[in-house]
């Protein structure tokens, strides 16, 4: 058998093994759900406090009007990108190692985008007026300002979420049907039957399914590139030193995929071990993802170098100050150096095959990279605002407890949603894996 | 039960081979049911080409047009908004929203069309009444066939002949769907 699928059993054994993960859940999942649920309560409390009191409870000030909120937004959206990259981009490239991890990654995307969406909504100050962002004929007679990158964001992020959800669900339908046919209790069969939409696996079912799945893959692929490009326009269209750069779209996209692959590893490595999935998520998968980290890590590093060089080459004193003085040596220098160590230096370990294939080392490294990518956004957002053109308006930013609670809370909520997903949904694509098994067997026979 | 004869097979090769064989010998092969997509079956069964891609294209074009009309009408016609002295109808600024709406409409249509064109969602299907059909989502491959044209049902002798004909395709169960259900 091939290196991407070492499971040797029959179709029935493979199906039962994968369905069994959901039908008879492991014992640790209850306490894990409870723990993350408690963290989610922290999020609810922080949100309630923010909404009732006002955004003033965050550390934001003038001129640092965007701080943790935007940092968290960009970080979470970025994490989502790897999921779409795996499920859509690698589908079009017919990468076999995509199959067993795509649903996992796609679920991660959905839950990450939910977290991301919370922050701009709360930052509105009066989130109950969020619908002002949509073009509807109102008594005020005005429309949203569509030449602002912020309105683009609304459309991009909501489209991204919707398309990811449809793509994920369409892939899930045949496996929900398998759940329906294998579950032993009647009530459970009923519930899965409703979500399986009456799937009966006819040739026509599969033909339409395959076409739509391919098309959704094709449609989601440009979203990987466009959504973070649009997010980067929030900055690039502004004229603050350190923001006003045409480099941002590709640099943001690479960073997004970088942090997203790190998050996939952070979630996948423990799940692989706890659910004993070594047969379907093999060392080959870890190795491939580690290589993706190395590649995107280098694109990010290259972008940092180009940024510094462009700042110097522009001859603009504000740009030069921001990039060459403020960031590496200013009051937030420790953050900047954390970014360099986490994002540029640490991934170089991945040149070693042993580290690429070691789950523990990769898991630790994935955490380091996520810290680095969060810091990167923080440095980008806070340093530019806190020291812009006029020294008289300079001011530093310090996060408050509420800022911290929101970040912690979204991490908990994200993990909570993810655990629910592991608990109730076949999280390894069963029908796709069987198709892959057949394909591999055919290849082996022809060889 | 609409399909008189039900054939249960155990492998991809068997179902593709059997479907092609049955079609060549003049049976109307009504449908095959499999646990995962088998592109080769489309030809063997004679599944018609789907119009799904065209629907998706139409939806994408409508999405793009709608988004552009909304952007143009709101910011250049209904309430002219001067943003930094740029033209009221500034195309470059429209690109992101037009693009995203195109994708949104096309993806939504792809999803809905895939379901509707294959008759989903549905609460029930007659094939679910077949004994053992639940293994279709696990590891069994089914073919349902009708009698040669102009006849109501297959005779018992014909089932025997069918069993013999299909024997080369590995373990196979051939039965009368109406009696089995």
Give the tens place of pLDDT for each residue, A204-235: 889 999 999 999 999 998 988 899 999 999 89
pLDDT given for residue B152 in this prediction? 59
Q: Please give the biggest Cα pair distance in chain A.
A: 74
Between the two ends of chain B, the Cα-to-Cα distance in Å is 8
pLDDT band at residue B153 under the 50/70/90 scheme: low
ipTM (interface pTM): 0.91
Residue recorded with tokens 């955490």: A367
Using a CB-CB distance cutoff of 8 angstroms, which residues of chain B are in contact with residue A440? Answer: none
Count of CA atoms in the C-beta half-sphere (13 A) of B120: 25
Dump pLDDT digits (tens) for A53-78. 999 999 999 899 999 999 999 999 99
Give me A208's structure tokens: 């339409």
CA A136 to chain centre: 31
- pLDDT tops 60 at residue B2: no
Which DSSP letter does residue B50 get?
P
- Which residues form the domain of A220? 11-125+152-446
pLDDT given for residue B177 in this prediction? 65
Q: C-alpha angle B58/A103/A356, rounded to 5°?
A: 125
> What value does the mean pLDDT of chain A take?
91
How many domains does chain A contain in total?
1
Q: How far is B27 from chain A (nearest CA, A)?
A: 17
In-domain check, residue A311: yes
The beta-carbon neighbor of A226 closest among B81, B99, B113 is B99
Residues 6+ apart with CB under 8 A from B99: A222, A226, B64
Judged by DSSP in three states, A143 sits in coil
**Residues A395-408, mean pLDDT to the nearest whole number:** 95
Q: How far apart are CA A443 and CA B19, in angstroms?
A: 22
Are the beta carbons of A199 and A177 closer than 8 angstroms?
yes
Using a CB-CB distance cutoff of 8 angstroms, which residues of chain A are in contact with residue B139? Answer: 10-12, 15, 434
CA distances from A387 to A58, A374, A439, B7 (A): 19, 20, 58, 75
Q: How far apart are CA A261 and CA A112, in angstroms?
A: 13
Q: ω before A63 within 30° of 0 (cis)?
A: yes
Q: Give the architecture-level CATH label for domain B5-48+127-180.
A: 2-Layer Sandwich (3.30)
Are the beta carbons of A384 and A234 closer than 8 angstroms?
no
pLDDT given for residue A254 in this prediction? 92
Q: Which chain B residue has the Cα nearest residue A196?
A: B121
Residue B69 contacts A where some CB pair is shorter than 8 Å:
no
Q: How far apart are CA A356 and CA A265, in angstroms?
A: 11
In-domain check, residue A136: no
* Domain segments of chain B as ranges: 5-48+127-180, 52-117
Size of interface A-B (CB pairs under 8 A): 197
**Residues B23-51, mean pLDDT to the nearest whole number:** 83
**Would the CB atoms of A141 and B79 count as touching at under 8 Å?**
yes
Burial of B159 (0-12, 13-18, 19+ CB in 10 A): middle
CA distances from A261 to A78, A79, A81, A258, A363 (A): 10, 7, 9, 5, 11
Q: How far is A112 from chain B (nearest CA, A)?
A: 19
pLDDT band at residue B180 under the 50/70/90 scheme: very low
Using a CB-CB distance cutoff of 8 angstroms, which residues of chain A are in contact with residue B93? Answer: 146-147
The beta-carbon neighbor of A201 closest among B52, B90, B137 is B137
Are the beta carbons of A287 and A355 closer than 8 angstroms?
no
In-domain check, residue A212: yes
Q: How far apart are CA A237 and CA A379, in angstroms?
A: 18
**Would the CB atoms of A204 and B47 count as touching at under 8 Å?**
yes
**Residues A129-142, mean pLDDT to the nearest whole number:** 88
Residue A231 contacts B where some CB pair is shorter than 8 Å:
no
Residues of chain A with pLDDT > 70, as a percent, come to 99
**Would the CB atoms of A145 and B81 count as touching at under 8 Å?**
yes
């Amino acid at each position: 058998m091939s290196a991407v699928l070492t499971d040797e059993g029959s179709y029935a054994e493979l199906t039962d093994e994968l369905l069994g993960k959901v039908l008879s859940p492991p014992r640790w999942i209850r306490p894990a759900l409870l723990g993350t649920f408690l963290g989610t309560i922290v999020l609810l409390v922080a949100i309630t406090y923010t909404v009732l009191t006002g955004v003033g409870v965050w550390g934001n000030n003038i001129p640092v009007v965007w701080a943790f909120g935007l940092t968290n937004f960009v970080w979470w959206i970025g994490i989502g990108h790897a999921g779409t990259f795996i499920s859509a981009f690698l589908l079009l490239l017919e990468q076999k190692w995509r199959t067993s991890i795509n649903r996992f990654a796609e679920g991660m995307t959905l839950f990450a985008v939910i977290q991301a969406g919370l922050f701009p909504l709360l930052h509105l100050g009066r989130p109950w007026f969020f619908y002002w962002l949509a073009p509807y004929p109102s008594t005020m007679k005005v429309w949203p300002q569509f030449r602002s990158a912020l309105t683009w964001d609304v459309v991009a992020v909501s489209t991204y979420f919707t398309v990811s959800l449809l793509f994920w669900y369409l892939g899930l339908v045949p496996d929900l049907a398998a759940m329906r046919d294998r579950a032993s209790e009647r009530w459970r069969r009923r519930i899965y039957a409703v979500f399986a939409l009456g799937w009966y696996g006819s040739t026509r079912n599969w033909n339409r399914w395959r076409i739509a799945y391919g098309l959704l893959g094709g449609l989601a692929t440009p979203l990987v590139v466009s959504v973070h490009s649009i997010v980067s326009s929030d900055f690039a269209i502004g004229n603050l030193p350190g923001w006003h750069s045409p480099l941002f779209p590709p640099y943001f996209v690479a960073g997004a995929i970088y942090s997203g692959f790190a998050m996939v590893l952070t979630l996948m490595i423990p799940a692989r071990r706890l659910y004993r999935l070594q047969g379907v998520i093999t060392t080959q998968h870890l190795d491939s993802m580690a290589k993706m980290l190395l590649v995107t890590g280098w694109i990010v590093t290259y972008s940092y170098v180009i940024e510094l060089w462009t700042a110097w080459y522009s001859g603009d004193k504000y740009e030069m100050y921001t990039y060459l003085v403020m960031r590496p040596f200013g009051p937030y220098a420790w953050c900047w150096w954390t970014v360099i160590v986490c994002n540029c230096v640490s991934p170089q370990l991945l040149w070693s095959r042993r580290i690429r294939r070691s789950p523990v080392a990769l898991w630790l490294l994935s955490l380091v990279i996520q810290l680095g990518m969060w810091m990167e956004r923080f440095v980008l957002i806070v340093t530019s605002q806190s020291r812009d053109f006029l020294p008289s308006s300079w001011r530093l930013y310090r996060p408050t407890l509420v800022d911290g609670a929101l970040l912690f809370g979204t991490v908990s909520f994200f993990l909570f949603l993810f655990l629910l997903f592991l608990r109730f949904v076949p999280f390894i694509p069963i029908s796709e894996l069987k198709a892959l098994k057949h394909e591999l067997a055919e290849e082996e026979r022809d060889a | 039960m609409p399909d008189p004869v039900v054939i249960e097979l155990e492998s991809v090769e068997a179902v593709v081979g059997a479907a092609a064989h049955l079609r060549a010998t003049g049976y109307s092969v009504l449908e095959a049911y499999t646990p995962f997509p088998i592109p080769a079956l489309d030809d063997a069964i004679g599944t018609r080409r789907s119009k799904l891609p065209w629907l998706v294209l139409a939806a994408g074009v409508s999405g793009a047009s709608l988004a552009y009309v909304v952007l143009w009408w709101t910011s250049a016609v209904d309430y002219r908004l001067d943003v930094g002295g740029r033209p009221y109808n500034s195309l470059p600024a429209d690109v992101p929203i037009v693009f995203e709406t195109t994708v949104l409409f096309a993806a939504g249509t792809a999803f809905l069309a895939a379901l509707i064109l294959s008759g989903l969602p549905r609460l029930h299907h007659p094939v679910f009444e077949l004994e053992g059909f639940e293994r279709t989502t696990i590891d069994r491959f089914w073919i349902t066939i009708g009698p040669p044209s102009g006849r109501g049902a297959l005779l018992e002798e014909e089932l025997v002949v069918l069993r013999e004909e299909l024997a080369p395709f590995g373990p196979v169960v051939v039965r009368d769907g109406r009696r089995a259900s």
